Structure 1
Amino acid sequence: MSVLVVRHGQTAWSLSGQHTGTTDVPLTEQGEAQARALRPVFAARRIGLVLTSPRTRARRTAELAGLAAPVPVRVDEDLAEWDYGAYEGRTTAEVSGELGRPWSVWHDGVVPGATPGETVHQVAARARAVLARAAAHERGRGEGEDPGDVVLVAHSHLLRVLTACWLGLSPTAGALFALDAGTWGELGHEHERPVVRRWSVPPPA
């Protein structure tokens, strides 16, 4: 079994670099095209479980990528993006300018705003819960039965934290795994050790 991570297609805010946590921003036309272009990736694999963030941009990506068959897409609240609190809708440059110093969500965190915001460790707790459900799916199959791949359709920072957790690293190591909109990656094992097999792979041309 592999865990395939898919970042939703382009949105206006992903294009501008605005932090998009709780705001339900739709896909752009380019984002919808990116999602459709992912269809061959999943058509060529045996899919056993599909989980998606509750945000429209992720659910729409799953739909356009053809992930509703042969298994239903399940919404998983733990796949929602990082709650950025007062930094929702702000760019890194804007926050840095306001603070008068370079700011990083990975190391400086967020402050409460219209929503409470989350620490990186709170995001990691949600990511680990998702990975536990993926592992339970694999264990729930009969001996010798192929459980199929698990597909997670979500957001950049959440999936980067999840990847760090998969590898047994600190959640802040997610900073090292840049993931472009509309791309996918594969988490698997080599000699029983968790590895990243593919990362930030664009849709086929």
Structure 2
Amino acid sequence: MSILVVRHGQTAWSLSGQHTGATDVPLTEVGEQQARALAPAFADRRPALVLTSPRTRARRTAELAGLAAAAPVEVDEDLVEWDYGGYEGRTTAEISEELGRPWSVWHDGVVPGATPGETVQQVAVRARAVLARAAAAEGGGDGEGGGDVVLVAHGHFLRVLAACWLGLSPTAGALFALDAGTWSELGREHGRPVLTRWNVPAGA
């Protein structure tokens, strides 16, 4: 069994670098093309479970990638993006300029705004809950039997999830760049969690 993770296609905010957490931004035309181009990666898969974030950009990506044809697509609230609080809709450059120093969401965190915001540890709690659900779907998590689990979600959340899968600190997600409209595979080698594929472009 593998866990296949999909970052939704391009949005106007992902293109501009704006932090997009709770804001329900739709896919751009390019994002919809990326989502359709993901379909061949899943054509021969028979997933045991397909989960998507409730955000439109993720659900639309799952739809256009044809995942509903393979298994029922279920919405999981734990798959939402990092709550950026007062940094929602802002770019790293804008935040750094305001603070007068380089800023990183991984090490500096966020401030409250219209929403409270989350720490990276709080995001990791949700990621571990998703991984536990994935393990249950494939029969206990030993990698034998069962089917793949597909997760359609967001860049920062999926980077935290990958770090948790590998047993690393959630802040290690900073090391795993993940582009819009890509898919990745979390697998096992000799029983140990590994990254089998990462940041594979749509259509590759």
TM-score scaled to structure 1, two decimals?
Answer: 0.96
Root mean square deviation of aligned Cα: 1.4
Distance 2:145 2:196 in 1: 19
Distance 1:187 1:61 in 2: 19
One-letter amino acid matched to 2:76: D
> How far did 1:48 drift?
1.3
- Name 1:66's counterpart in structure 2: 66
Distance 2:92 2:184 in 1: 25
1:197 aligns with 2:193: no
Distance 1:105 1:159 in 2: 14
- Name 2:10's counterpart in structure 1: 10
Q: Which runs of 5+ in 1 are unaligned?
A: none
Distance 2:70 2:13 in 1: 32
Aligned-residue sequence identity (percent) comes to 83
Q: Which runs of 5+ in 2 are unaligned?
A: none
Provide, for residues 52-106 of structure 1, a one-character-per-residue CA deviation record: whole Å limited to 9, x for no partner. Answer: 0010000000000000023110000000000000000000000000000000000
In the TM superposition, structure 1's runs of 4+ consecutive aligned residues that sit over 2 Å from their partners are: none
* Number of aligned positions between the proteins: 203
Question: What is the SS of the residue equivalent to 2:45?
Answer: coil
Question: What is the SS of the residue equivalent to 1:114?
Answer: coil
One-letter amino acid matched to 1:91: T
One-letter amino acid matched to 1:8: H
Provide, for residues 123-179 of structure 1, a one-character-per-residue CA deviation record: whole Å limited to 9, x for no partner. Answer: 0000000000000111179xxx84211000000000000000000000000000000
Q: Aligned ranges for residues 99-110 of structure 1 at < 5 Å?
A: 99-110=99-110
Question: What is the SS of the residue equivalent to 1:126?
Answer: helix
Distance 2:67 2:101 in 1: 43
- Name 2:139's counterpart in structure 1: 139
- Name 1:54's counterpart in structure 2: 54
